[in-house]
Structure 1
Amino acid sequence: MAETTAIRAPRSLIAPGRYVQGRGVLAELGRYVAPIGSMPLILTDAVVKELTEATVTESFRRAGLPVRFEKFGGIPTAAEARRVADVAVERGCDVIVGLGGGTVIDTAKAAGDNAGIRWVSVPTVASTDAPTSALSVVYTEEGAFESYRFYARNPDLVLVDTQLVANAPVRFLVAGVGDALATWIEARAVQRASATTMAGGLATHAGIALARLSWDILWENAMPAVEAVRQNLVTPAVEAVVEANTLLSGLGFESGGLGAAHAVHDGLTAVPHTHHLVHGEKVNIGSITQLILEAAPTAEIRRFVEFTARLGLPTTLTEAGLGDADEEVLRAVVAAATAPEETIHNLPFPVSADDVLDALKAVEVLGRSVRAEAGLPEPQAPESLRTRVPTARMA
């Protein structure tokens, strides 16, 4: 009998068809959408529509495209994606434009897939790396993580107007940094484990390099970019961070892989205590948890905690709303984070629920210790988070 040779999983990298970034590029949206579809549906919320409607309408007029807006329901559920898909089919649309934040964009992708039409991402904030990917995060009506939904292709176009990003509340850019910093932390772990990435294969050298590039750019530019966006300015640092948060992190997480940081994020969504935090803020708690689980060098962990605390990201359970949570609540977080289908199992070592529980508890102790040593204010409970602003840059 002939011997069979095990076939090693292929390496894979996937990406959007086109990426466009710059100040004022929203005014050119119609020109970029026209080759993709002639009957677009623009999915957005009321706030973003008010900010962008005049620019988008004029852009589409110049490109000879009709303008059809549809209001986003607020939560990226499977039901909302089906509703939007039905609207697109009824109106004869051949492309969906997700205009807004990550939840709008994820819903536009899901609706486009349901309707069998193409989709375009137009993020108005740089708060997540969702815009470039061939997947959506699906939530329950209560706002808890439900599942990842994968697609056969990435968006045909991702267009980011950096002036819109600079005009948005600085918290969104900071959250995007939290999401993007996790990309390298997770990708290097997935590479060590030879685990499968979100692209359906082993990581390519390109995917890993993009994840690392995102990390390097953020450590160099995040502080000045945040300071600039607080004044609604578009500087080279802002352009660099928007690219790192959106394109590099997007390609890096999808073709480099996810690990514990995003699994812990998913776990945090399972309890209502954390619903005041946006995606990248919860991911930052997950990044610290992963570094503790990995037994990363103490100096590396403490430097990461200080850097992200100075940016304004949560680095303690207190800020996540779990400072006074009992064991049962924390175990609910851990149970969701360690579910069999979760990406925490991409780490290059087995992880038990007790391991994650202890690492989560250590986040609080570590975060308080680093803050005290760095002379930063003590962590505050959720009611004060919405007024949190970045602290002075590290020496």
Structure 2
Amino acid sequence: MTQAMRIIGFPGRYVQGPGALKSLPDMLTELGAQRPVLVSDDIVQAAVGPQLPPSLPRLRFGGECTREAVADLAGQAVALEADTLIALGGGKTIDTAKGVARTLGTRLVIVPSVASNDSPTSRLIVLYDDAHRLVAVDYLARNPDLVLVDTEVIVQAPLRFFRAGIGDAVSKRYEARQCALSGGKNFFGGRPPDVALVMAERCHAALAQYAPAALAAVSRKEVTLEVEAVIEATVLLSGLAFESGGLSLSHALLRGLTAIPALAEALHGEMVAYGSLVQLCLEARSDEERRAHASWLVGLGLPVTAAQLGARLSATEQQQVAELTMNAPYIGHFERPLTAADIAQAINAAEQIGQTALVG
């Protein structure tokens, strides 16, 4: 019997810590960058830009990661003869810079301004339309050359973003497990190696141990050992676990949730946290486990109902979400075949468990 190759991928280098941004010039020299160009939005540029070399050319990111935005910035980067793209910002800025680097074949440096999701380490480029509906996922030829995480920058962002990063990471233990159980492939087209599952488990363990204290510290704008541990979990471990371990229902559900206009303001990680509860309602788990997971999410301030994401879903909307979820490429990464009816039923079950957790 022929088995798929085991494949895992990593960024060229990962650097994390307070004041890490100060090392950027030296890191660019090590990479051999001759004409680096920055990609950032106006808000992040005003807050963090003064810490960067003033001579660094900048491309202004407008706010939505669309194919049109990527093409526009790529044209500007060509005019500057850029050989290295530096993404400074959140997930959409990062994905847009990835798209430009993919188009031009340049080096890529990721400098996240928030720890709201695990996109910094991966090759994935998540594209939306102007209505914030997920439309496609493209891929870089390789992972970013450098991921530079300045934890002093991260804690200055609104607490909601830090919490959303935890929400994006809580699902990885369950999604990587389902991908492995189903014989699914990871984002490199190979079989997830065992170490990917180990990273997913370690990610979950770090969140269970450190997340409450880290949230409290970030609310005070403090960098603590707990904050460092959670950022490592949400950016590095979660990123490696999803890309090399694979995804499942928690992320597949975003195909449906992002199509509901009333949920447009929900962050990626908030939707994934809710999706993790829906996934556990599909898995062969006890009611006690599902209730415990919902209570844990509530304790972390993460959503357990669609209303917390922005709107109560009618039965018709739940069915719409379920049907669109079936179009996700990793919907087959589950221990048994799923139908739209299964997913709609799980959404309804998650809503009931979530409501109970909120009042309990």
TM-score greater than 0.5 by the shorter chain: yes
Residue in 2 that maps onto 1:372: 359
CA distance in 2, matches of 1:182, 1:33: 34
Which of these residues, 336, 339, 355, is aligned with residue 324 of structure 2? 336
Residue in 1 that maps onto 2:23: 28
- AA aligned to 2:39 is L
Question: C-alpha offsets along residues 94-126 of structure 1, whole Å, 9 cap, x if unaligned?
Answer: 011110101110111111010121111100111
CA distance in 1, matches of 2:52, 2:255: 34
CA distance in 2, matches of 1:301, 1:38: 52
Aligned 1:233-312 pairs, distance under 5 A: 233-312=222-301
CA distance in 1, matches of 2:249, 2:165: 18
Q: Tell me if the contact between 2:34 and 2:83 (Cα under 8 Å) persists in the aligned partners.
A: yes
CA distance in 1, matches of 2:157, 2:120: 17
RMSD across aligned C-alpha pairs, in angstroms?
A: 1.2
Residue in 1 that maps onto 2:3: 8
CA distance in 1, matches of 2:329, 2:304: 22
Aligned 1:101-116 pairs, distance under 5 A: 101-116=90-105
- Are 1:356 and 2:343 an aligned pair? yes
Tell me the SS of whatever aligns to 2:306: coil
More moved, 235-244 vs 21-30? 21-30
Residue in 2 that maps onto 1:87: 76
Deviation at 1:328, TM superposition (A): 2.9
TM-score of the superposition, structure 2-length normalised? 0.97
Unaligned runs of 5+ in 2: none
- AA aligned to 1:27 is K
Which of these residues, 19, 24, 27, is aligned with residue 14 of structure 2? 19
- Are 1:144 and 2:133 an aligned pair? yes
Which of these residues, 37, 51, 55, is aligned with residue 51 of structure 2? 55
* Identity within the alignment, %: 37
Tell me the SS of whatever aligns to 1:57: coil
Which of these residues, 315, 319, 330, is aligned with residue 327 of structure 1? 315
CA distance in 2, matches of 1:16, 1:321: 35
Q: Tell me if the contact between 1:318 and 1:364 (Cα under 8 Å) persists in the aligned partners.
A: no
Deviation at 1:327, TM superposition (A): 3.0
CA distance in 2, matches of 1:331, 1:191: 27
Tell me the SS of whatever aligns to 1:160: strand
Q: Tell me if the contact between 1:317 and 1:363 (Cα under 8 Å) persists in the aligned partners.
A: no
Count of residue pairs brought into register by the alignment: 359
- AA aligned to 2:339 is S
Question: C-alpha offsets along residues 221-253 of structure 1, whole Å, 9 cap, x if unaligned?
Answer: 000000000000000000000000000000000
Deviation at 1:359, TM superposition (A): 0.7
Deviation at 1:13, TM superposition (A): 0.4
Deviation at 1:23, TM superposition (A): 0.3
CA distance in 2, matches of 1:102, 1:318: 24
- Are 1:99 and 2:95 an aligned pair? no
Q: Please identify the structure whose Cα radius of gyration is greater.
A: 1
CA distance in 1, matches of 2:329, 2:298: 27
CA distance in 2, matches of 1:333, 1:273: 13
Residue in 1 that maps onto 2:118: 129
Tell me the SS of whatever aligns to 1:292: helix
- Are 1:43 and 2:43 an aligned pair? no
Q: Tell me if the contact between 2:59 and 2:77 (Cα under 8 Å) persists in the aligned partners.
A: no
CA distance in 1, matches of 2:339, 2:18: 47
Deviation at 1:271, TM superposition (A): 1.1
